[in-house]
């Protein structure tokens, strides 16, 4: 779960540093708030959705597929196609920015790779409620060692057939 939060926080940091035509407010939330009230500014909500884990061919490595959504909600006149197009363009710019910019190098999630991004918006909500809701779905991949790897120490037994365990006991080795 902390990887999901780390990546969502890194996305917030990248968006906050973004160079957009409009200056959005960027927040991380547990769930996106898509109510119509107070939807007059460019509010980008970053929501960690899932962290799916699967084994890889390597014995001690787990693949994490992390999904993060970036949602924009903004009130819009449902009959103003130009305003809706402007918002759709903005959500596309957000997607392009995240695709082009790596996560911050000093962030805990800096070794994640953005596998793909998909910008969409809700036509029905715009038509019925006059509320633009656009979402960029981000899929990040990270490989994590399950077991910390320690250096292996080999014992040189020489010609002795017994191993002293240090407590006075001897372990007899058989061939």
Tokens representing residue 125 in the block: 């909500």
- Tell me which residue range forms the domain holding 92: 2-149
Per-residue pLDDT at 69:
92
In a domain, 46, yes or no: yes
E strand or H helix at 90, and its extent? helix 81-100
Per-residue pLDDT at 82:
92
Per-residue pLDDT at 46:
94
Per-residue pLDDT at 98:
83
In a domain, 52, yes or no: yes
In a domain, 158, yes or no: no
User: What pTM value is reported for the model?
Assistant: 0.73
- Whether 16 and 9 have beta carbons less than 8 Å apart is answered as no
In a domain, 162, yes or no: no
Tokens representing residue 101 in the block: 């910019």
Cite the beta strand spans of the chain per DSSP E: 25-29, 43-55, 61-75, 113-121, 131-145, 162-164, 170-172
CATH of the domain at 105: 3.30.2000.10
Per-residue pLDDT at 49:
92
Per-residue pLDDT at 48:
92
- Whether 37 and 130 have beta carbons less than 8 Å apart is answered as no
- Whether 140 and 115 have beta carbons less than 8 Å apart is answered as yes
Write down how long the chain is.
175
In a domain, 114, yes or no: yes
In a domain, 165, yes or no: no
Rg, Å, the chain Cα set? 25
In a domain, 167, yes or no: no
Per-residue pLDDT at 22:
87
In a domain, 127, yes or no: yes
pLDDT along the chain (175 residues), means of 10: 85 89 90 71 90 81 88 87 90 85 61 72 87 88 71 53 55 52
Number of domains in the chain: 1
């Amino acid at each position: 779960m902390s990887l999901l939060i780390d990546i969502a926080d890194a996305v917030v940091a990248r968006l906050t540093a973004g160079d957009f035509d409009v200056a959005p407010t960027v927040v991380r939330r547990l769930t996106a708030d898509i109510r119509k009230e107070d939807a007059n500014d460019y509010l980008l909500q970053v929501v960690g959705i899932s962290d799916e884990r699967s084994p890889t061919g390597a014995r001690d490595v787990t693949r994490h597929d992390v999904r993060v959504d970036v949602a924009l909600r903004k009130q819009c006149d449902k009959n103003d196609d130009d305003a809706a197009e402007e918002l759709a363009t903005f959500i596309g710019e957000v997607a392009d920015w995240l695709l082009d910019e790596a996560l911050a190098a000093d962030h805990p999630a800096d070794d994640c790779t953005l596998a793909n991004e998909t910008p969409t918006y809700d036509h029905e909500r715009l038509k019925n409620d006059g509320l633009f809701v656009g979402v960029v779905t981000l899929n990040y991949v990270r490989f994590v060692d399950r077991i910390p790897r320690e250096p292996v120490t080999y014992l040189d037994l020489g010609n002795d057939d017994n191993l002293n365990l240090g407590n006075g006991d001897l372990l007899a080795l058989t061939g």
